[in-house]
């Protein structure tokens, strides 16, 4: 068996011993190789009237979540017995002022289990005798556990000792990744003793495709590439520290944008646009390489970051951490000569904030910033191209469902649509232009409409003045 086998209840007088003996009653010879082995016996005190835990209620914060999002579940339990009951891990994190921070309850992935995974890749919280935990299970989905979870793979312990007559709220989270419906049911268990409640508060949860809008290229009035800044949405620290999925990083309210070429920025305890802790920076760019080959990319970040090239994840530098060594934050990809799409995503939880990325060409010894390719290499002064540009606009879905199409318009009323995440527009004649565009991903998420204004003037003359060096002679 994968768990302890219940052999029944027996009464013992104080101070006496007990023993267990197993016999083969089938009469089969040993040659049949049907043998029973056991190597340990656990004596468990049975529940008495002194222990009685009631599940008062279960609340789900919503009945529809997008793939990658966390479902918040709040359990209310009451001690109706006469003895103090105790919990075990996982429990809510502690608050700075003492007590427990319910917003930092433990988060399971839908494929995780309190017993851990057979390959040892998931955290485990084995049963502790007589400890009380609330339980949650899904009728349609059963994760692969390192043992028998008895239909309740997700369990959370009492945050603190629960005295007779006291009531306590316990908050847990589950991250669902697969679209569909799932029926959840809750319970309360005293481990290795008994279930007080099973199959309670059965509720159907709908898991929709991801709802995160893609990010298209953006430029300021001098055609410098822009990075977008958002507030970081609610997410427990324990999950933020270990998830590698960018879809699980909740993007909150849009803050603004700033011009950035990927050079490393060290904000200290601050951040961009007046932010301090709890923010996200995302950027999509079109860049050009002149030579085909294997290019190495890196990110420098405190805390987590991701980098994609042409929709392929190249660097996964996730988690809560300070700036890591280069070997842990690099990745390589073969690129053909020409234009490509880079996307970068970064989040900062608390403390020091650092973000940056770079590219190393084949055979190069140093990292540099990717060369922007909005105009296909056409020369320009600020927002004026002095040679006919071949515009390239693009978008990336940051690990989501992928870009389905790009819409664009020159007058704001007549729109063209192009499949995929890259649109190349033929060379433009002299004049002033305003291009409106929008990216839509496979899940149907559309980002807000963006606007790009620029001029083309091939008659514009560029003058350069070289000044002599004035000063004392210098020795080399």
Identify whether residues 236 and 179 lie together within a single domain: no
Alpha carbons 69 and 65: distance in angstroms, whole number: 6
Identify whether residues 359 and 385 lie together within a single domain: no
pLDDT at 351 (0 to 100): 95
Identify whether residues 307 and 414 lie together within a single domain: no
Residue 175 falls inside a structural domain: yes
Identify whether residues 120 and 191 lie together within a single domain: yes
Identify whether residues 360 and 325 lie together within a single domain: yes
- Which of 317, 348, 370 is a domain's end point? 370
CA angle at 385 for the pair 379 and 386, rounded to the nearest 5°: 65
- CATH number of the domain that residue 316 is part of: 2.60.120.1560
Identify whether residues 170 and 232 lie together within a single domain: no
Residue 131 falls inside a structural domain: yes
Residue 204 falls inside a structural domain: yes
H/E run at residue 238: helix 237-242
- 356 has pLDDT over 90: yes
Alpha carbons 380 and 299: distance in angstroms, whole number: 29
Question: Would you place residue 279 in the very low, low, confident or very high pLDDT band (cuts 50, 70, 90)?
Answer: very high
Alpha carbons 314 and 358: distance in angstroms, whole number: 12
pLDDT at 79 (0 to 100): 96
Query: What share of the chain in percent tops pLDDT 90?
Result: 78
Alpha carbons 320 and 74: distance in angstroms, whole number: 26
Alpha carbons 403 and 396: distance in angstroms, whole number: 6
DSSP per position, 358-376 = EEE-TT-SS-BPPEE-TTT
Instruction: Indicate the pTM of the whole model.
Output: 0.84
Identify whether residues 283 and 430 lie together within a single domain: no
Please compute, for residue 149, the number of CA atoms within 13 A of its CA located in the half-sphere on the CB side: 27
pLDDT at 45 (0 to 100): 58
Mean predicted lDDT score pLDDT of the chain: 90
Please compute, for residue 434, the number of CA atoms within 13 A of its CA located in the half-sphere on the CB side: 6
Alpha carbons 380 and 309: distance in angstroms, whole number: 26
Identify whether residues 77 and 197 lie together within a single domain: yes
Q: How far apart are the first and last CA of the chain?
A: 81
Identify whether residues 57 and 204 lie together within a single domain: yes
Residue 348 falls inside a structural domain: yes
* Strand order through the sheet with 180-190: 64-66, 194-208, 180-190, 132-138, 154-157
pLDDT single digits (tens) 169-225: 999 999 999 999 999 999 999 999 999 999 999 999 999 999 999 999 999 999 999
Question: Would you place residue 1 in the very low, low, confident or very high pLDDT band (cuts 50, 70, 90)?
Answer: very low
Alpha carbons 404 and 114: distance in angstroms, whole number: 38
Residue 19 falls inside a structural domain: no
- The answer to whether the beta carbons of residues 191 and 128 sit under 8 Å apart is yes
Exposed e or buried b for every residue in 39-66, given b needs 16+ CB within 10 A?
eeeeeeeeeeeebbbebeebebeeeebb
Residue 286 falls inside a structural domain: yes
Alpha carbons 397 and 393: distance in angstroms, whole number: 14
Identify whether residues 386 and 364 lie together within a single domain: no
Alpha carbons 91 and 79: distance in angstroms, whole number: 18
Total domains in the fold of the chain = 3
Identify whether residues 196 and 67 lie together within a single domain: yes
Residue 69 falls inside a structural domain: yes
- Which of 307, 342, 370 is a domain's end point? 370
- Which of 208, 242, 262 is a domain's end point? 208
Q: Which domain holds residue 113?
A: 53-208
Burial class (CB in 10 A: 0-12, 13-18, 19+), 251: buried
- 427 has pLDDT over 90: no
- CATH number of the domain that residue 403 is part of: 2.60.40.10
Identify whether residues 344 and 274 lie together within a single domain: yes
Residue 24 falls inside a structural domain: no
């Amino acid at each position: 068996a994968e768990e302890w086998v219940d052999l029944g209840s027996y009464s013992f007088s104080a101070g006496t011993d007990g023993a267990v003996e197993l016999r083969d009653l089938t009469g089969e010879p040993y040659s049949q190789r049907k043998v029973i082995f056991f190597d340990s016996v656990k004596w468990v005190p049975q529940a008495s009237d002194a222990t009685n835990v009631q599940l008062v209620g279960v609340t789900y914060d919503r009945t529809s979540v997008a793939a990658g999002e966390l479902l918040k579940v709040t359990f209310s339990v009451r001690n109706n017995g006469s003895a103090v009951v105790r919990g075990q891990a996982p429990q809510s994190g502690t608050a700075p002022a003492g007590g427990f921070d319910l917003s930092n309850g433990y988060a399971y992935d839908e494929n995780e289990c309190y017993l851990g995974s057979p390959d040892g890749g998931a955290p485990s919280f084995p049963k502790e005798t007589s400890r009380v935990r609330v339980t949650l299970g899904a009728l349609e989905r059963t994760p692969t556990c390192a043992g028998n979870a008895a239909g309740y793979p997700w369990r959370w312990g009492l945050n603190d000792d629960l005295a007779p007559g006291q009531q306590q709220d316990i908050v847990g989270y589950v991250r669902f990744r697969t679209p569909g419906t799932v029926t959840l049911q809750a319970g309360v268990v005293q481990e290795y003793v008994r279930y007080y409640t099973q199959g309670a508060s059965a509720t159907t949860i709908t898991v929709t495709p991801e709802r995160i809008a893609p990010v298209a290229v953006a430029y300021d009035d001098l055609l410098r590439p822009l990075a977008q800044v958002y507030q970081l949405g609610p997410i427990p620290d324990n999950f933020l520290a270990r998830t590698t999925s960018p879809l699980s990083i909740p993007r909150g309210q849009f803050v603004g944008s700033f011009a950035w070429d990927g050079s490393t920025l060290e904000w200290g305890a601050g951040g961009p646009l007046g932010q301090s802790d709890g923010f996200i920076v995302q950027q999509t760019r079109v860049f050009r390489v002149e030579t085909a080959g294997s290019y190495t990319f890196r990110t420098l970040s405190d805390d987590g970051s991701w980098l994609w090239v042409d929709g392929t994840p190249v660097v996964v530098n996730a988690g809560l951490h300070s700036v890591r060594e280069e070997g842990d934050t690099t990745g390589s990809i073969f690129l053909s000569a020409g234009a490509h799409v880079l996307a970068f995503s970064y989040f900062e939880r608390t403390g020091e904030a650092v973000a940056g990325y770079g590219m190393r060409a084949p055979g190069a010894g140093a990292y540099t910033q990717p060369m922007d390719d909005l105009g296909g290499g056409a020369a320009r002064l600020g927002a004026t191209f002095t040679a006919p540009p071949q515009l390239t606009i693009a978008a990336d879905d940051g690990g989501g469902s992928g870009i389905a199409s790009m819409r664009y318009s020159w007058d704001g009323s007549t729109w063209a649509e192009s499949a995929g995440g890259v649109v190349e527009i033929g060379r433009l004649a002299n004049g002033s232009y305003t291009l409106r565009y929008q990216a839509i991903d496979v899940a149907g998420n559309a980002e807000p409409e963006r606007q790009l204004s620029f001029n083309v003037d091939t008659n514009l003359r560029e003058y350069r003045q070289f000044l002599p060096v004035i000063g004392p002679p210098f020795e080399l």
